[in-house]
Chains A and B, each alone.
Chain A
Amino acid sequence: MTPDLRRLLPSDSPVTLIDPDGHATGDVPDDATLLRSLGALITARRLNDQAYALVRQGRLAVYPSSHGQEACQVAAAQVLRPQDWLFPTYRDTVAATVKGVDPVEALSLLKGDWHCGYDPYEHHVAPHTTPLATQLPHAVGVAHAARLRGEPAVVMAMCGDGGTSEGDFHEALNFAAVFHAPVVFFVQNNEYAISVPLSRQTAAPSLAHKGVGYGVPGERVDGNDMAALLTVLGAAVERARAGQGPQLVEAHTYRMQAHTNADDATRYRDDAEVAAWVGRDPITRLRAYLTGRGALTAEADAEFAAAAERAAAHLRDGLNQDVEPNPEDLFAYVYSTPTTQLREQAALVADELSREVAQA
């Protein structure tokens, strides 16, 4: 094998630094770093479960939960600096919140108030993208523009295992490699694309191998191991920042719940399969490791739980508030200046409303 090819190939098995029982198997980040991540993980889980509950209460139309994938969510954002960009999918609400977006604003899309509820420039978080993989070429463009201007920004571009079959995934990897753009492509392989298993997406040895054909180094990581994620993603980000080009990272994880609340996962997978992943929970694992080292005090753990409750309460309060939608918004943001035709259509709606008021 040529050194060039070796540089591109991922490890034979996913990088793991803490095993499912909480024992270190490699060079683990320091306790302070991991404690910070544990706190974020606990809040992440709480937000996922709170959002799920809010769907049942009718406050959200739907919620694609990242329950079980929280280590990926937290790590993707924690390895970034404020100037770096995050490109999330519909499943990556939690990652957006770790990058700084208010969870209430992040869920505006699913609450139905507006599509993107936050200012993408405030925390450098692109709008959640639903058309699969289409955000990945944008990530390359943001990174290329930063590079042309000599800004040290890196872009974290997220997608799922199913998304890797879309053309834009391949075009984005290829463009990033050719232009040497500072992008980390981060695939959360949670085994399913709605009902379709990974085996129907690809016959490749792993998704990380898909980088080879583009000259993009690939790496695979245990997606439920916070320490491994911080290490692998952190190294990829810093390599990109140092001008060494893009990288593809595949995290092996599992979608513990249905695709969304509207989905019935029992139609395509066994309970036993799900149960097997319970033992690999990312929070249990990190807590076991830190407890084993005596690094996690009862006070700290209690404070993590309290912070998670505060975040959940903030989410509840925000989503329980009814914002009266403004029909003028329908026409306000199509162009910088509404066209004559849009002004006419806005006037039509205004007229309908005034007649409603007159009748009432």
Chain B
Amino acid sequence: MTTVAHHKLSLAQALNRALRDAMAEDPTVVMFGEDVGALGGVFRITDGLTAEFGEDRCFDTPLAESGIVGMAVGMAMNGMRPVVEMQFDAFAYPAFEQIVSHVAKMRNRTRGRVALPMVIRVPYAGGIGGVEHHCDSSEAYYAHTPGLQVVAPATPADGYALLRAAIADPDPVIFLEPKKLYWSKEEIEFPVRAPGIGTAVVRRAGTDATLIAYGPTVPVALEAAEVAAQEGRSLQVVDLRSIVPFDDETVCAAVRSTGRAVVVAESSGFAGVSAEIVARVTERCFAALAAPIRRVTGFDIPYPPPKLEHFQLPGVDRVLDAVDDLQWEES
């Protein structure tokens, strides 16, 4: 019998625990990147792993992201399950060619003979007062690339569950860790029971409209729903958890149940994941919609400097304004 235990953990601690448990269970899991060894990563996600598992299992590399991801490809080809850390979202770009041309395509190129069970962890998005190149929401680049799975946890429990699932998965996963949520805590019940990659969840029930969010905007959507409830409007909140594969079923069922929806995403709206969500839901649920689906996203600008970033981040007021715009009949 497995014993149930409860721990109050931050997202950062939950991710660290997921890595530790995966490495303890499976000797082929290795973790590497920049400053992930003695330092434990700039966000401490790999804290203590080198001490516990040794230099061969968790190690620092030269500072070269293409080399890091490329080496992970080779190790995954040869029997390992590498997990690599890109230090920040915008510093993953040197690895883009490896990700698009090899990580995403190897299974397809080889008719399934060469699988790449690997995870690319990316501390991502803004809201932490970071200077330029430290706050990018880069999910659309990855989500647009067939062959990748793209997930973004919004809670510590999901951080643990999705990272374990990503490491165990036979295919590559881009694992986007919302930086601003690293320090948010919640009580987690172990063993963690949570749906796997590819499943969205309804985080809050509601009947008037559906907020669709993922990663850093999930808490924003929940807060907006709380405020709306006080004003007499019942908002449902869907947390995508997984951008690819996309859970059309859960999302569409949620939107059909309310007939109105707002997508809340931190990244720029143009050609973004938010645009894809609106398109898919409209294609599938048009008849059930009482109003066009609205989006609250980052503007189509390079991520602003810290003192201006609050304009860029979708906030509760902007979300509620969008909800107000959903063609409500006068009551």
Please give the residue numbers on chain A whose beta carbons come within 8 Å of chain B beta carbons, in ascending order.
114-116, 119-121, 126-127, 131, 134, 136-146, 148-149, 167-168, 171-172, 174-175, 178, 329, 332-336, 339-341
A140 to B78, CA, bound (A): 11
The residue in B61, B67, B171 that gathers the most chain A C-beta atoms within 10 A of its C-beta is B67
Contact check, B67 vs A120: say whether CB atoms are below 8 A apart.
Answer: no
Shortest C-beta distance, B76 to chain A (Å), equals 7
A334 to B109, CA, bound (A): 9
Main secondary structure of the interface of A (DSSP, over half): helix
Residue numbers in B under 8 Å from A333 (CB-CB) = 107-108, 110-112
Residue numbers in A under 8 Å from B75 (CB-CB) = 141-142, 144-145
Please give the residue numbers on chain B whose beta carbons come within 8 Å of chain A beta carbons, in ascending order.
30, 56, 61-62, 64, 66-67, 69-80, 82, 94, 97-98, 101-102, 105-115, 146-147, 149, 170-171, 198, 244-246, 248-249
Contact check, A332 vs B112: say whether CB atoms are below 8 A apart.
Answer: yes
CB pairs A–B below 8 angstroms (23 shown): A114-B111, A115-B108, A116-B110, A119-B113, A120-B110, A127-B106, A134-B98, A137-B98, A141-B75, A141-B76, A142-B78, A144-B71, A144-B75, A145-B75, A145-B79, A149-B79, A171-B64, A172-B67, A175-B64, A333-B110, A334-B146, A335-B107, A335-B149
Among B71, B107, B115, B244, contact of A141 (Cβ-Cβ < 8 Å)? B71
Among B71, B94, B106, B146, contact of A175 (Cβ-Cβ < 8 Å)? B71
Contact check, B102 vs A138: say whether CB atoms are below 8 A apart.
Answer: yes
Contact check, B62 vs A171: say whether CB atoms are below 8 A apart.
Answer: yes
Contact check, B97 vs A131: say whether CB atoms are below 8 A apart.
Answer: yes
Residue numbers in A under 8 Å from B101 (CB-CB) = 131, 134
Question: Across the two chains, which residue of chain B brings its CB closest to A172?
Answer: B67
A127 to B101, CA, bound (A): 12
Residue numbers in B under 8 Å from A334 (CB-CB) = 107-108, 146-147
Count of A-B contacts with CB under 8 A?
136
A333 to B147, CA, bound (A): 9
Shortest C-beta distance, A236 to chain B (Å), equals 19
A204 to B104, CA, bound (A): 35
Contact check, B78 vs A145: say whether CB atoms are below 8 A apart.
Answer: yes
Shortest C-beta distance, B54 to chain A (Å), equals 11
Residue numbers in B under 8 Å from A137 (CB-CB) = 66-67, 69-71, 73-74, 98
Residue numbers in B under 8 Å from A138 (CB-CB) = 70-71, 73-74, 77, 102
Question: Across the two chains, which residue of chain B brings its CB closest to A335?
Answer: B171
Question: Across the two chains, which residue of chain A brings its CB closest to B67?
Answer: A171
Among A120, A134, A145, A149, contact of B114 (Cβ-Cβ < 8 Å)? A120
A339 to B77, CA, bound (A): 23
A116 to B71, CA, bound (A): 20
Q: Which 5 pairs across A and B sit closest by C-beta, in order of nearness?
A: A141-B74, A137-B70, A171-B67, A145-B78, A138-B74
A149 to B28, CA, bound (A): 10
Among B61, B69, B77, B147, contact of A335 (Cβ-Cβ < 8 Å)? B147
Residue numbers in A under 8 Å from B106 (CB-CB) = 127
